Amino acid sequence: MEREKWVRLLSLNLGIAAANIIVFSPGLIGLELGASALAAASGSTIIFLSGAGLFYGNYKLLSEPEKSIPISQISTAEGYIEALNDQRELKTFEKSIELLLDQIERLQKKNKTIREILLQIFSASEIAYKKFDAVIAEVEKIFFMNIRSVLNKLNAFDEDDYNFVRSRQEAGAFSEQFMEEKLEVYYEYIKFVNAATEDNEQILLKLDKLLLEISGLNSIESGELEQMAGMIEIDNLIKQAKYYKNSG
């Protein structure tokens, strides 16, 4: 979104500058301010409109709020990165957000390496490669489902209220039982985010094991894929994720 805004700003400013060059350049329209009363009036009007357009256009673009994509519509790694960056103001989850961003980078790097190694063994059209690729894509889906769940929790988390409750607890404004119950709700958010972050680390660990296993291969038969220890672990992960999704 930020990049799109700067592209629009650049386009606006370059467009206004180009229009003025065309109007006042001797080799083009060549409007001269001192040539006649009409030319002077026209030139002054154009300069005024250009200045107003420049000021208002830049103000409008810089002040307009960012349009965030609904979490349910995020479908790319870049989209999840942007959504996580939008939550950086939540100091309670600052380290978790940094770790999740790092996890996305590591996931992309590992999967790229896995695919590169597989293409040294198989061609992209072979069934064995397609099986591997489908499994990796499924793992990515589970990984980003975890991040989507985290984003939903971050959106729901009221950090101002959380900090208010903690300050009231220290001041002894409410009963200890009430404060514990109130804070327990927020601790559930924190525990959930920590658990989802750890789940993604487990996924990365399984990919590391698979990467270690396939990096020593020179060849493999299609029927042997399912017997690889790394593939068995990942297959169990996928089955478990599908089970929780269907039972949830």
Higher-confidence residue of 246 and 233: namely 233
The pLDDT tens digits for 13-44 are 666 566 555 544 554 444 444 445 544 445 45
How much is the pTM? 0.68
The pLDDT tens digits for 161-178 are 999 888 887 777 778 888
Higher-confidence residue of 83 and 132: namely 83
d(CA 72, CA 89): 21
- DSSP characters for 100-139? HHHHHHHHHHHHHHHHHHHHHHS-TTSHHHHHHHHHHHHH
d(CA 72, CA 240): 22
d(CA 228, CA 239): 16
Q: Has residue 147 got a pLDDT over 90?
A: yes
